[in-house]
Structure formats: C-alpha cells, structure tokens
Amino acid sequence: MGLPRGFAIPLTPIRRLMTDMLRISKKLPLTAIERTMPLADVIAARQGAAVRPSWFAIFIKAYGAVSARRPELRQSYLTWPYERVYQHTCTVATLAVARQLGTEEGVLAYKIRSPEQLTLAEIDASIRYARTEPVEQVGDFRRSLRLARMPRLVRRLGWGLVLNVSGRLRQKHAGTFGITAVSALGSSSLSLLSPLTTTLTYGVFAPDGRVNVRMFFDHRVMDGVAPAAAMEELEAELRGPVRAELLASAPAARAA
C-alpha cells in the first residue's frame, strides 16, 4: 500500500520575506570576526539601573556610537548602474524582531535611526514598541509585509532598488548595520546571512561576565583590520560611556 500523499502549502508573506532576504544575502562575501568581551562591570551597572534596558538597546547604542565615528562602518556596496561604495550620512540600526502573525511566528526588521544620539531608555522604549504594538501599526513591518504580498518580479525589483541602486533608499529602508541574537533563549548564532555591510550578534553571558560578540562584515567594503579595531572600540564604548549612562540612571545616582 502506498504512502498518503502530502500537499503544497503556499508561502506566507513572512516566509516570502525570509526567502527574498536569504536569496540576496547568500551572494555577499560575508566574513565573521569574534571578540570575547569582559562585561562584568556593565552587567553590574545594568542591574543597578532604575529601569534595566535590554541588551539589544545596550549593544545598539554602543555600536551606533562606534559606527558614527568610523566611516567604513557606514558604507555599503552598490552594484547598479556601476559598482561603487556608498557612504551613508548617519547610522541606522536594523533589529531583527520576532513577532507572531496569526498562527505563524516570523522575524521582521525594525529600524532605529541615529541610536548614538538617543538615551538607552529611548532605544529600549522603541524596541518595546516594535515588540508589542500590533504588527500592522508598525510602519517598518507594514511596509515589509506590503512588499512581501507583491508578485515575485515586483519584490525582486524592490529589493534590488533598495539594496543595489540608491544609497539613500538603502539607508532609509534597509539600515546601515544589523543586530540579532538568540542568547535570551540560551543559544548563540554561529553564522548568519545578512544583506547589510555589518551585522552584530552576541552569545550567552558566562558566569564571570564574559561574552562572545561576533561581527559579520562584507569583505568587498573592508578588510579584517577595520572590523577588529571596531570590535575593540565597541568594548571600550560598552565599558565606558554606556556603563556611565547606566550608573547615572541608578536610583542612588539620581538622588545624589
């Protein structure tokens, strides 16, 4: 007796988005660099804060500051009508946000402009908004899902225009750097695909406060020395200005 026959399930908009993103990203020569950062002092400062910001907010603030100082982290490789490197005028963080769409959970991109100019509390409030507001009320999500519902040819033209033709549109609709992590679930991302020049991810914190931070970068835009220097600067930013902001938000510091 033969086996029961299965059936085809049409791709949902969220799966179309992921398929499109992976199709584009797999063409990029991404290289990874990793740095183990001792962040016990940052952890202690965060625990003493009146309102604890998420680690996403902390890393976004710190990496935004590093990107604002380092032009190579604000550059993108464009391919049409000719190959060139485009330098963006400001930093735009793109955060991968897991959301429920009906019975399906998917990942949507949410952008935070010039995070280095915002407080940790403001960045954290923006992230909470992206995580809790109805999906159709968040502009970034609504635009992404609208594109995902278009025919394949239209989607490909849209992605190509944003990522390869116009630096201004790329900055506005794709961002200048990405950040994602699954460490809250006890896991670490060992590899990833991204259409952005740099994407940051971090693992699970060890008992002594050390954490592995990994950057994936487009080798067409920069070589390994620049990302390594940026990671060193990121650690200094976390343990310096970001930690100072956390300490200043502690109840005792405010009372003084």
Range of the domain at 242: 13-249
Evaluate whether residue 4 is within a structural domain.
no
Instruction: Report pLDDT for 185.
Output: 84
Instruction: Report pLDDT for 256.
Output: 54
Contact 59, 179 (CB under 8 A): yes
Strand, coil or helix: 184: helix
Ordered DSSP codes for 112-152: EE-GGGS-HHHHHHHHHHHHHS-GGGSHHHHHHHHHHTS-H
Evaluate whether residue 219 is within a structural domain.
yes
Evaluate whether residue 255 is within a structural domain.
no
Instruction: Report pLDDT for 252.
Output: 64
Say which CATH number the domain at 199 has. 3.30.559.10
CA dist 179 → 9, 58, 68, 170, 196 (Å): 31, 11, 16, 16, 10
Evaluate whether residue 1 is within a structural domain.
no
Instruction: Report pLDDT for 190.
Output: 84
Evaluate whether residue 129 is within a structural domain.
yes
CA 32 to chain CA centroid, nearest Å:
15
The dihedral through the CA atoms of 40, 201, 115, 107 has a sign that is negative
Tell me how far apart the alpha carbons of residues 196 and 173 are, in angstroms, rounded to a whole number: 11
Tell me how far apart the alpha carbons of residues 136 and 117 are, in angstroms, rounded to a whole number: 27
Evaluate whether residue 3 is within a structural domain.
no
Q: What are the beta bridge partners of residue 215?
A: 33, 200
Evaluate whether residue 180 is within a structural domain.
yes
pLDDT in tens, the chain (256 residues): 678 889 898 899 999 999 999 999 999 999 999 999 999 999 999 999 999 999 999 999 999 999 999 999 999 999 999 999 999 999 999 999 999 988 889 999 999 999 999 999 999 999 999 999 999 999 999 999 999 999 999 999 999 999 999 999 999 999 999 999 998 889 888 889 999 999 999 999 999 999 999 999 999 999 999 999 999 999 999 999 999 999 999 886 655 5
What is the number of domains present in the chain? 1
Evaluate whether residue 256 is within a structural domain.
no
Q: Please give the helix or strand (H or E) that residue 86 lies within, else none.
A: strand 84-87
Q: What are the beta bridge partners of residue 213?
A: 35, 202
Contacts of 227 (CB under 8 A, 6+ apart): 33, 198, 215, 217
